[in-house]
Amino acid sequence: MQYWWTEEFGPDGLSVYAGRSYWLATYNWENQNYPVDTKVYNQSGGFSNGYVPLFIVIGYKNKVYWDHNSDGFRGALRLAIDEIVAEGVWVDNPISDKVLLYGESQDIDISAVFADIDDESITVTIESNDNPDILTATLNEKILTITANESLTGISTITLKGATRDFDEVDQFEINVFDPNLYIIENFETGDFSLFPWTFGGSANWTIETSYPYEGSYCARSEDISENQTTDMIVNVDYVIQGNVSFQYKTSSEGNYDYLKFYIDGIEQGKWSGVTSWNEVSFTVGSGSHNFKWTYQKDGSTSYGSDCAWIDRIVFEGGIATSINNEQWTMDNFILYQNYPNPFNPTTTISFSLKKAEQVNLSVYNYTGQLVTNLVNNITEKGVHEINFDASELNSGIYYYNLETAESSITKKMILIK
């Protein structure tokens, strides 16, 4: 390899790279590996068996610096020079972004995050925590402990620094702290579709299956359909804040013809086909009300595999697992209507109808059950009443309004999104 490197970069091109045992592999297709050897490979003729490598992989120890499939051997070397760490420290195993709920803690082993080209000992420190009100971060030897606050939603970026001799490198990752009421998981472990207000469309419903769950005992599976048909699984979720939706999917279908497709508000976000294992995908979701749809769609001919798709562990980060519409709730002596608009910002109207004059208490509570305000507390005449609720001084979130008379009480949910 040093020979080719010198040929490409000149006699001074090796510099600090000289004397180190980098490794190189080439392969022509999956699981077909060839060691580079002057007796086996030459630039003009390819391998002695007639194959020309499609991929060039260059690395050092257990780290891959370059994996290229079009420029050939010399091209890979030219591009690898920008990737290979000549000296010092690099981030070998970066920490992925995390999600914590209020009050949660997590311990992270950081012993393998950084590596040194000469295997020198590396000192790791917390360089910064840009939002300490959201969470705390402490380091005890090789364990990083992150702890979320009890009441604030937000994101904090943690920066770790690994240093040895005169070299250092940083690794950054985000911690997203959520209100547990805004971090909802559908894993179908109820054994049915009762947790969320699911609806179905197309030529068949989805079903609950126990054969191939990602976790637990249950997952959702697209029902059997024929050529040129679809089956849809749909749910509406309200996001109080910007967040994400993630889910696990698995397909067994004719590749590039029969697809699992995912839509947000009617816009396709991704599609998958062929025989796959479980995979996770994630998509950003803005604040507001959103329609989520999973569709299995067949083309006009051949079937393959189980001819279906599976979904499991759907996580709505920032979403509220509820169906909110303009329905009315009726009791013997009054009717309580859904507030309108809903979600709202910052004002909404709460309406109710009385069949007789009586003492009425209409109050608003936050999601923890604390009283926010009392809108009505008097004897109210028979008929329809509209009460304006101004939430200008309140934070985004879930609120409840309760209408109480001497005979009955009803509570409904509303969402403030700023």
Place of tokens 């917390």: 126
Structural domain of residue 248, as residue ranges?
182-320
**Total number of domains in the chain:** 4
Q: Helix 72-80 to helix 2-9 angle, to the nearest 10 degrees?
A: 80
Give the pTM.
Answer: 0.62
More confident residue, 288 or 317: 317
Decide the pairing of beta strands 98-101 and 167-178: parallel
Of the listed ranges 103-112, 135-144, 196-205, 365-374, the least confidently predicted one is: 365-374
Same domain, 195 and 309: yes
CB 206 within 8 A of CB 277: no
Is residue 334 over pLDDT 50? yes
Cβ atoms within 10 Å of 265's Cβ, excluding its own: 13
What Rg value do the Cα atoms of the chain yield, rounded?
Answer: 30
More confident residue, 341 or 47: 341
pLDDT at 48: 42
- Cα–Cα dist 101/320, whole Å: 15
- We report the CATH number of the domain holding residue 376 as 2.60.40.1930
Domain boundary among 288, 320, 352: 320
Confidence of residue 236 (pLDDT cuts 50, 70, 90): confident
Q: Mean pLDDT across the stretch 67-84?
A: 64
Domain boundary among 146, 178, 210: 178
- Cα–Cα dist 55/60, whole Å: 17
pLDDT at 95: 96
Q: Mean pLDDT across the stretch 186-212?
A: 91
Q: Mean pLDDT across the stretch 335-347?
A: 88
pLDDT at 14: 53
Confidence of residue 330 (pLDDT cuts 50, 70, 90): low
Domain boundary among 178, 197, 214: 178
CB 228 within 8 A of CB 312: no
Is residue 162 over pLDDT 70? yes
Same domain, 174 and 186: no
- Cα–Cα dist 390/372, whole Å: 11
pLDDT in tens, 2-27: 666 666 666 665 555 555 666 666 65
Same domain, 247 and 315: yes
Same domain, 193 and 163: no
Is residue 294 over pLDDT 60? yes
Percent of the chain with pLDDT over 90: 47
- We report the CATH number of the domain holding residue 191 as 2.60.120.260
Q: Identify which of 232, 272, 231 has the alpha carbon closest to the alpha carbon of residue 253.
A: 272
Q: Mean pLDDT across the stretch 205-216?
A: 94
pLDDT in tens, 295-319: 999 998 888 999 999 999 999 998 7
